[in-house]
Structure 1
Amino acid sequence: MTAETDGARSERSRRRRRTVIVAGAAGVALLGIVVGVIVAWSGGAGTPPSDGPIYLWDTAADEFAEAPGATFAAERSVNWAGDDTDSLVPIVCPADSTEAFTFISRAGSERTGISGWQAYSVSGFDPEPTVAGRLEVLLPVASLDYQSDGSLPAYEAVLRDGGTWSAGLACTTDAGRAVTGAFYRTVQIAADAGSFTVDPIGGK
């Protein structure tokens, strides 16, 4: 890859990231999510697996972040992408979705929406999708300290108690109450530290 191509890609990445950040902020205002949603544990056996693979990227460095034993501080800037070789591959939501959220939940509660997730944050659809009319989510934020749009005590409990959780992106309708698609990974959160690791896909 030439230096010119690298520069063009970097500029495209920066422009697309700025666009998505602005769109996400607009989505928060539009949805009017109320902080303090009461979290109820639900879900369980029979919950389908992730609708597709997602991967963790360090978008500041435009580098694939996953490596054996890699640990991520709660405040570290990391994002999900739909590919492990290109951070700009979006996650595609079903056509009937009306919004998207990043979330943290117990295993089995990934599809319960805002009433069942332990923590979450409003995401948004890319206003410049790679395929016209497709609902694409570009670089949804995976950082733990970003997942605090719901119940603050519930979010703080995740960082305090740690343990095994599911984290990822959900496509929804009804302002996050009904899940149309869920893309997630298993993460291990260190109690009291808030740092986390990501389990390999397939557990290997």
Structure 2
Amino acid sequence: MNISKKWRAAAAGALALALVGGGASAANAAIPSGPGFPVNPQPNGSPGAFFIFDENAQLAEQEGRVFDRTQYIFGAMDPVDYLAEVKPTDYTAAGTYDHAYVFIAKPSEMNGGTGSWRAYNDSGFNPATGNLLTPALTLGDLALANNGGIDSVFTEGGEWNVGFAFTTNNGVTPVASVYRTVTIDAATDTYTYQPLVLETGPVEPAADLVVESELVAPETATLTTTPDSTVVGIDAGAANANKTLDVAAFQGGARVELGTVVFDAAGVGSVDVAGKVTAGSAAKLFAYEKVARPAPSTIVDETLSAWGSFTLTETQAKSFTSNLTTTVTASNIFKIVAPANPNVDLGPVRRNQTTAPVKLGQFSVIDDRDVLSGWDVNVSASDFTGQEATNAGHVIPAVQLGYAGLAAGGIQDGVTVNPLAKVAGEGVFGSLVSGAPNSSTTEAGANFDADLTFKAPIDAKKGVYNSTVTLTLVSK
């Protein structure tokens, strides 16, 4: 909320009429007082004092809060109600003054009114009552001046009085005033308000709470429990019929709140104490009513309604724990086991035709390393060379060999056969099977095979050809 300077435009003449027209009252008769209000007088001599609020209508009394001369603040006579008006008739009888000002002055400059104050201005007021409503205290707006005005105030620094004065003789003679002391820091062009001294009242007694020493025989409630159950039945008697009461317990000297219980027409209810009351140890349960003290107090007292004692029992163990230890080991084997027969006959084939698939023979991969980084089995082959008089020296490129990987029995998770076969006479050699990182074949290994094929070139010379195929196990 932004408080506008809505009363600043009122004319001084209108103010004089409103003030003179006010009802007569004895001086100092109604200065706000009581616990939380400024003592009268304040240490600086002011009859009581006002509270300061900032441009957001928030109380600005924080000790040490720093203001500059342009910051808008205003005064009010209540620490909560920022619209609480400053009433001139609280300080002087009606008719004994004709003008109101906001001013700043040294303590020695107070009595000379406008002729001695360092800087001042007309004070805002409520035309309907003649009281000062949200009167502005912005020091930079005190345009009327003597002896250098507001600039000299901030040049000199030190302690000054800031407040509201009610005067006669065109402002020359102050009749009464209410003011605060500020400390100006000349080096930073800022100032702070000195703290108020507030009245104190009688200390309100602390809340009257139910204590364990009040729970003395005879018990006034009958409590029932069932072995291995945490629900406590409460018969609080007819006096507590149809009541909703708070319930708590004492166990081992400690108090624990159990919640709220709605009692039926016979004064019977129940509460679950799971996690709050320990089995095997005596406890005292009590129901109580909360009784709020009259406003403005915020303290709530407790009145004991009924109490009884109980002990939770457990007859069956609900669980047990055992500590387990194990150690995972690895053989640290990483190898490929070749097929039993190292020789494979791909069989006869016509020129520009492809042989039927022939099994390479089962081989195994074992990856049981300490660190499972993954692996591949890569395929390579040498060129086919002629072995007879009819084709001696003739070479058929290795690319004419084709293959397709096969699983031979179950394989573990993370181990895969390359689904892309190499077609005889096309493509390039690559991976046949793979193991993903963090997967193991275990020491038993994983078994694979491969279908091999060969496509004879259209210009191949007749005769027997030999080649070698190599499977290489590599770590990723």
TM over 0.5: yes
Whole-angstrom distance in 1 between the partners of 2:76 and 2:141: 16
Please name the residue that 1:136 is paired with: 131
Is 2:17 the counterpart of 1:21?
no
Q: Which of 130, 150, 174 is the matching residue for 1:155? A: 150
Q: Any idea what the Cα deviations from partners look like across 1:100-122, whole Å, max 9, x if unmatched?
A: 11111112432321112111111
Whole-angstrom distance in 2 between the partners of 1:73 and 1:155: 12
Whether the 8 Å CA contact 2:160–2:181 is kept in 1: the answer is: yes
Q: 1:197 to 1:30 in 2, by over 3 A?
A: same
Whole-angstrom distance in 1 between the partners of 2:81 and 2:178: 17
Please name the residue that 2:114 is paired with: 114
Greater relative contact order structure (CA < 8 Å, 6+ sep): 1
Q: Offset of 1:65 from its aligned partner?
A: 1.0
Secondary structure at the counterpart of residue 64 of structure 1: coil
Q: Which of 74, 77, 83 is the matching residue for 2:69? A: 74
Whether the 8 Å CA contact 2:124–2:134 is kept in 1: the answer is: no
User: Aligned partner of 2:12: which letter?
Assistant: G
Whether the 8 Å CA contact 2:69–2:190 is kept in 1: the answer is: yes
Please name the residue that 1:196 is paired with: 191
Please name the residue that 1:42 is paired with: none
Q: Offset of 1:64 from its aligned partner?
A: 0.7
User: Aligned partner of 1:146: which letter?
Assistant: D
Whether the 8 Å CA contact 1:99–1:125 is kept in 2: the answer is: no
Whether the 8 Å CA contact 1:165–1:188 is kept in 2: the answer is: yes
Q: Any idea what the Cα deviations from partners look like across 1:89-134, whole Å, max 9, x if unmatched?
A: 11111312211111111124323211121111111431122xxxxx
Q: 1:123 to 1:138 in 2, by over 3 A?
A: same
Q: Offset of 1:30 from its aligned partner?
A: 9.4
Q: Any idea what the Cα deviations from partners look like across 1:50-88, whole Å, max 9, x if unmatched?
A: 122111111x31111110110011100101111221111
User: Aligned partner of 1:21: which letter?
Assistant: R
User: Aligned partner of 1:123: which letter?
Assistant: S
Whole-angstrom distance in 1 between the partners of 2:196 and 2:154: 23
Please name the residue that 1:166 is paired with: 161
Whether the 8 Å CA contact 1:51–1:181 is kept in 2: the answer is: no
Secondary structure at the counterpart of residue 101 of structure 1: strand
- Give aligned pairs, total: 166
Whether the 8 Å CA contact 2:120–2:142 is kept in 1: the answer is: yes
Whole-angstrom distance in 2 between the partners of 1:114 and 1:49: 20
TM-score (norm. length: structure 2): 0.32
Q: CA RMSD in A?
A: 2.7
Please name the residue that 2:50 is paired with: 54
Q: 1:164 to 1:113 in 2, by over 3 A?
A: same
Superposed counterparts of 1:82-93, under 5 Å = 82-93=77-88
Q: Offset of 1:187 from its aligned partner?
A: 0.3
Whether the 8 Å CA contact 1:160–1:193 is kept in 2: the answer is: no
Based on CA coordinates, which of the two structures has the bigger radius of gyration? Answer: 2
User: Aligned partner of 1:188: which letter?
Assistant: T
User: Aligned partner of 2:65: which letter?
Assistant: A
Unaligned runs of 5+ in 2: 17-43, 199-476
User: Aligned partner of 1:87: which letter?
Assistant: Y
Whole-angstrom distance in 2 between the partners of 1:108 and 1:51: 17
Q: Any idea what the Cα deviations from partners look like across 1:172-203, whole Å, max 9, x if unmatched?
A: 11211111111101100110433110001239
Please name the residue that 1:43 is paired with: none
Whether the 8 Å CA contact 1:97–1:173 is kept in 2: the answer is: yes
Please name the residue that 1:65 is paired with: 60
User: Aligned partner of 1:104: which letter?
Assistant: I
Whole-angstrom distance in 1 between the partners of 2:173 and 2:100: 11
Whether the 8 Å CA contact 2:74–2:136 is kept in 1: the answer is: yes
TM-score (norm. length: structure 1): 0.72
Q: Which of 175, 181, 184 is the matching residue for 2:179? A: 184
Whether the 8 Å CA contact 2:119–2:150 is kept in 1: the answer is: yes
Q: 1:87 to 1:183 in 2, by over 3 A?
A: same
Secondary structure at the counterpart of residue 128 of structure 1: coil
Whether the 8 Å CA contact 1:28–1:122 is kept in 2: the answer is: no
* Identity among equivalent pairs (%): 28
Whether the 8 Å CA contact 1:27–1:124 is kept in 2: the answer is: no
Secondary structure at the counterpart of residue 159 of structure 1: helix
